[in-house]
Structure 1
Amino acid sequence: MGHRAELDGVAGLLVAIEFADDAHRALGVRWSPAAPAHKKLEYARVFLVPVTPEPDRVYLELVDGLPRASVSLPESLPAGEYVIEVDAYGSASWGDGRLDAHGRSACFTVGTPLHRAG
């Protein structure tokens, strides 16, 4: 649950997820700095990442001022193994590429989409 090794100089985040439905299509994401002395994080970008040899991150949400988010996974998302990654920034500088902290959740399984009548 730490940051990726190739992100030298970037603080680690602890990322936790909670599921809001049985098919894992909606979830809550929380993050906190791995080291208590880390500066306050103002913005975060939340990504969904498949656990595959060549994963592509899927952007889910931009969060302003909170260490948590509620996200819905795309209906077209295939069943499989995934993680959530969070990139966090100490200011609105996220647009200029100055990443301050990064973290990854534990692996979780997304089931087959629920079929709703209607």
Structure 2
Amino acid sequence: MASITRTQDITPLKDSPFCVLVNDIEVKAVPGESVLSTLLASEFRRLMKNDFGASSGAFCGMGVCHCCLVEINGRHKQRACQTLVQPNMTIRTCRNRVIEGDSKHV
């Protein structure tokens, strides 16, 4: 399985990291951080795709703008900035059920 190294941390990690899957790639995460922090530290910038197919990344980082909606553990439209990362979490970015034609859940 492919993995990505965190390159965007501002300070060294003090806690022991654990792994999550982001788009089927292993990514290290730290207890207590948000899903958004994990994604940004691992250089994931394009987070969501709107109903017209345009991609966007996080804007406010505090839950107001809705620009960081990702799929977490099979649940669509979860705010990455408001969700604490957990061990063995599965995260998918740039998903949109309308564009992908997943009509059973729309």
TM-score (norm 1): 0.29
Q: Which structure: greater helix fraction?
A: 2
Which of structures 1 and 2 has the larger relative contact order (alpha carbons within 8 angstroms, sep 6+)? 1
Q: Which structure: greater strand fraction?
A: 1
TM-score (norm 2): 0.31
| Structure (1 or 2) with the larger CA radius of gyration | 1
